[in-house]
Structure 1
Amino acid sequence: MERRNFIKIAPLAGLAGVITPGRVLSGTSSPLPTATSLMEHDRQYWTQLLVRICSPVIENMSRGTLKKNLPLELGKGYGLDVKQVTYLEAFGRTISGMAPWLALPDDVTAEGRTRKRLREQVLQGIVNGVDPGSPDYLNFRTEAQPLVDAAFLCHAFLRAPDALWHPLDHVTKERVIKELRELRRIKPGYNNWLLFAAIIETFFLFINEDWEPMRTMVAIQKMKEWYAGDGWYSDGAQFSMDYYNGYVIHPMLTDILKVLMDKGKGTKADYEQAIRRMQRFAALQERMIAPDGTYPALGRSMTYRTAAFQPLVQLALQHQLPEELSPAQVRCALTAVMKRVYEMKGTFDGKGWLQLGICGHQPEVADTYTSTGSLYLCTSGFLALGLPPEDPFWSAPPEEWTAQKLWSGKPIRKDYHVSY
């Protein structure tokens, strides 16, 4: 049923801002979708697509069959022990993007019933992931990579504590905490990895467990030092032109600073400065989305697909978009991106798992650390589903995004660098 619904709505999704509601297709007597129907289809499209992406991971994890069924497609020259890392990658990354949507209250709609089912499966998956007797017991104790994906797991808990943390039984919570503490053995890389160690300690602080402030302090201080200007952070001492500001740096840094501020361990000034920088980066991201929904394919980890736009959707979720961006134009732009990325043949295999690539199956673009599990960070591009249907992000009439206006000769807002 879900697959049939997905296919049925796909041709309509992403048309917002491209067509004029009420006009009639040449040679037909059927009117095009109205603005209202397009808005409804945008949310349906995002929801059905997220469900399509997540279901193989979540359903298998809840049944204890993820290790049995997850394909092991690897980037050329893959250098990790894939069976020790890819399963936590798949699960932690998947639920990090799903979390705000899973946090919405239950309702009797088709979306609400699906969301409730997946939430229950995620909770069972967490139980299985830290149960030493489960076939899907996840590895936190060997290799360095688990630091990364445990951080995404903690990000999910921070984004939806009432949905994903508080309902867990006491034994499971203690097991999660024990596994996370094992990760203190890992010395993080001198780059965005500092944030992985920091967000795990931030989660400990959030749940009132003993935490190591130094691992957060170092990460925050280095990010301040590595700020390159105009919304961009350097990923380490040397600047890399890629999307790690989207995949990791802006979302994790701002969420760490928010928890520290709320707990009286950090300053409002630091948090607000990080948000302003994130807003500038998001404004640039929106300008990168071409009229046809394409965007520059550059840098490392491009197989993470829509995770590149995580700052844009996180700010939309938090009602903190920069003033020059309306929620509707962001919705329309990202819907167009999703259509370009996920509707290309080969993006999914015959059993519904994601395959290596950016737009379709393109294993040649995968990195030496990329496996099938790595790809599920793409769910971070769906954070705005945590907004209810009546929120302006979903309910406002369709709007063209900046590149659509620009390349059709319409007025646009002038761009200029910022100095904060």
Structure 2
Amino acid sequence: MRLPPPDHALSPLTGYTRAHWEAAADALLAAVTPYATEDHALYHLPGDHESWSGRLSDGLEGYARTFLLAAFRRDETALERYADGLAAGVSGVWPRIEDRGQPLVEAASIALALRLTRPLLWDRLDDAVRRRAADWLGDALTAQPWPCNWELFPVTVGGFLESVGHAPEASRAAIDRGLERIEAWYVGDGWYSDGPGRAFDYYNGWAMHLYPVLHAWLAKDQDLLSLYGDRLEAHLASYARLFGGDGAPLRQGRSLTYRFATAAPLWLGALTGRTPLPPGETRRLASGALKHFLERGAVDPHGLLTLGWHGPDPSVLQGYSGPASPYWASKGFLGLLLPPDHEVWTAREEPGPTEREDAATPLTAPNWLLQSTRSDGLVRLHNHGSEDARYDPHYTRLAYSTLTAPSPSYDNSVILDGDPTRTGIEPLGVGDGWAASRHTAGGGARVTSVVLVRGASEVRIHRVTGAPPGTPVRVTGWPTENAELLPALGLDDSLTGHITDDTMLFVALARLTVDPATRSEPLDKTASVRRPTPNEIDVHWQDGPAWRVTLSRDTVEVTPLVD
């Protein structure tokens, strides 16, 4: 991909400006054009990972997701192709929108693109094409979505159809129904669960906030914009801390092949004026994410986004992932809706939180602890509250980072008698440099886990109950040579211990860093650990405070320890 020369005067950290975003968008659009059918209604991108929806649906996905990119870019030449494709698609080429079918997802992208470009595309179409398109989209108003972010797809379609006067009552009903349903999943501090339960991931930003806020903004509904804007602003205050100093987002959650779609909520805050972030920091974080992936193989030699994270990587795919799925990354180009003279484009880049300070940031709603270190630019997420309904290594591990990927050998886990299962995660609180949770493991045993952090160091504490005496307990750490894991209490040098009548506490020291200066300090010197009573652990940080951790069957207390 050919990009302009870096501009380190305006963007000293990434070198990226609006011109780089425009060039990247143009290159991505140009690369997919040869794969369109003659009528431009379908984009059959190459790849050997066909989604469970089939080739026709995958072709629609290619159209819809790249159309969204063209809408953000507002390229009239490209939009003409998509207008032709729309006319053909709604004349019998596209599959119908049915209950819980993939076309419902793609209808939302098409509707949003049409709403954003109405004077350039929709208003220029023949009346007959508009009627057929509205009728095709109209099935989304009553189609049953999956109970998750899918509830917002009828909202998005309804918002467009209401704006053009099509089926206003049904459109309004779809909008109200979807917005009402997501209320049950809002848990505070700007965080939604992606459906019932506690599935926290990037869908918060690129779906749960994106669609309601954009709908309210486009509809000029100030009451809705106040409600959803407040939530977005609260979310961005912590969201900004999920990016490493190298621009990498945390590798956690599903659908990670959408990559720099992680920039979408950052731009959304600037677009609607609902962000706590300075404009230079917004652009730095967004450009950092785009640059991170473009420089690490996200685009193949043909200019196409691959199915993966950096390059092709099946470990981040789901059954619904097809060749065009990565083009939900188009959402990351939302910032192109902002005019070139907007301050988010003209302000000088400012460092993100990870570049400014070491921090241990508790996020109460998802029960996460974010541990970041300025010296190496790494962010580590200690997961004590997120779990998907289906087993997924991108949800169930105790920790994730901007450097590592979950391993098949069960990194960051507690393994009881060879069983690494972690289900039924219950949050037990987060605080100043600590987080705690409880889960079920090993055939019904209960594990209470606590992590305390300072700098790059971690103290990991596990209390096991309900396991038979003699059960082996092994703890694992970060899956990289840049990590350390040392036994502290109850574990031997292989990080394995055994349940006895009076020994159920297991403690290890961990560290993940690529900073040579940090690694030169012995890990076992950064903290000392002792066990004054069977259910208490005292942690003394070498260069900081001391804490007492009290673990009971149902609670965890972390209190300052005064000598």
TM-score normalised by L of structure 1: 0.77
1:166 aligns with 2:123: yes
- Checking the alignment, whether the CA contact within 8 Å between 1:17 and 1:332 is kept in structure 2 is no
Gaps of 5+ in 2: 358-372, 376-430, 433-563
Give the structure 1 partner of residue 56 of structure 2: 84
- C-alpha displacement at 1:67, in angstroms? 4.8
Give the structure 1 partner of residue 229 of structure 2: 275
Aligned pair count reads: 359
- C-alpha displacement at 1:283, in angstroms? 2.5
Give the structure 2 partner of residue 333 of structure 1: 285
The structure with the largest alpha-carbon Rg is 2
- C-alpha displacement at 1:297, in angstroms? 0.8
Give the structure 1 partner of residue 264 of structure 2: 310
- 1:147-226, aligned counterparts within 5 Å? 147-184=104-141, 186-211=143-168, 212=170, 213-226=172-185
- Checking the alignment, whether the CA contact within 8 Å between 2:189 and 2:231 is kept in structure 1 is yes
Among 203, 207, 210, the residue aligned to 1:248: 207
**Cα distance, 1:299–1:344 mapped onto 2, change above 3 Å:** same
**AA in 1 matched with 2:307:** L
Cα deviation per residue 1:168-197 (whole Å; 9 max; x = unaligned)? 222221121121123456311222111112
Give the structure 1 partner of residue 66 of structure 2: 94
Give the structure 2 partner of residue 49 of structure 1: 24
**Cα distance, 1:98–1:331 mapped onto 2, change above 3 Å:** farther
- Checking the alignment, whether the CA contact within 8 Å between 1:57 and 1:91 is kept in structure 2 is no
Give the structure 1 partner of residue 310 of structure 2: 359
- Checking the alignment, whether the CA contact within 8 Å between 1:13 and 1:335 is kept in structure 2 is no
**Cα distance, 1:48–1:73 mapped onto 2, change above 3 Å:** farther
Cα deviation per residue 1:367-419 (whole Å; 9 max; x = unaligned)? 1110111111101011111222222111122222222122559xxxxx99xxx
Give the structure 1 partner of residue 249 of structure 2: 295
- 1:103-122, aligned counterparts within 5 Å? 115-122=75-82
- Checking the alignment, whether the CA contact within 8 Å between 1:206 and 1:259 is kept in structure 2 is no
**AA in 2 matched with 1:226:** W
**Cα distance, 1:299–1:368 mapped onto 2, change above 3 Å:** same
Q: Distance in 2 between matches of 1:173 and 1:62?
A: 21
Give the structure 2 partner of residue 239 of structure 1: 198
The alignment-based identity, stated in percent, is 26
Q: Distance in 2 between matches of 1:43 and 1:408?
A: 27
Give the structure 1 partner of residue 530 of structure 2: none
Farther off after superposition, 50-59 or 301-310: 50-59
- Checking the alignment, whether the CA contact within 8 Å between 2:306 and 2:312 is kept in structure 1 is yes
- C-alpha displacement at 1:149, in angstroms? 0.7
- C-alpha displacement at 1:153, in angstroms? 0.8
Give the structure 2 partner of residue 396 of structure 1: 347
Q: Which has the higher strand share?
A: 2
Give the structure 2 partner of residue 370 of structure 1: 321
**AA in 2 matched with 1:394:** W
**Cα distance, 1:14–1:361 mapped onto 2, change above 3 Å:** farther
**Cα distance, 1:226–1:375 mapped onto 2, change above 3 Å:** same
- C-alpha displacement at 1:58, in angstroms? 4.6
**AA in 1 matched with 2:285:** A
Gaps of 5+ in 1: 20-37, 103-114, 263-267, 410-414
**AA in 2 matched with 1:236:** G
- Checking the alignment, whether the CA contact within 8 Å between 1:314 and 1:384 is kept in structure 2 is yes
**AA in 2 matched with 1:140:** R
Secondary structure at 1:228 match in 2: strand
Give the structure 2 partner of residue 31 of structure 1: none
**AA in 2 matched with 1:192:** N
- C-alpha displacement at 1:333, in angstroms? 1.9
1:18 aligns with 2:20: no
- Checking the alignment, whether the CA contact within 8 Å between 1:14 and 1:332 is kept in structure 2 is no
**Cα distance, 1:142–1:273 mapped onto 2, change above 3 Å:** closer
**AA in 2 matched with 1:123:** A
Give me the CA root mean square deviation.
Answer: 2.8
Give the structure 2 partner of residue 129 of structure 1: 89
Among 92, 97, 102, the residue aligned to 1:145: 102
Cα deviation per residue 1:113-166 (whole Å; 9 max; x = unaligned)? xx332233332332333233xxxx322356711011101111112223222322
**AA in 2 matched with 1:146:** P
TM-score normalised by L of structure 2: 0.59
Cα deviation per residue 1:19-76 (whole Å; 9 max; x = unaligned)? 9xxxxxxxxxxxxxxxxxx5xx51221111112222233564484367575214327x
Secondary structure at 1:300 match in 2: coil
Cα deviation per residue 1:305-363 (whole Å; 9 max; x = unaligned)? 11123111122223x1423x111211122111111112213x23333222111112112
Q: Which has the higher helix share?
A: 1
Q: Distance in 2 between matches of 1:278 and 1:89?
A: 27
Q: Distance in 2 between matches of 1:193 and 1:408?
A: 37
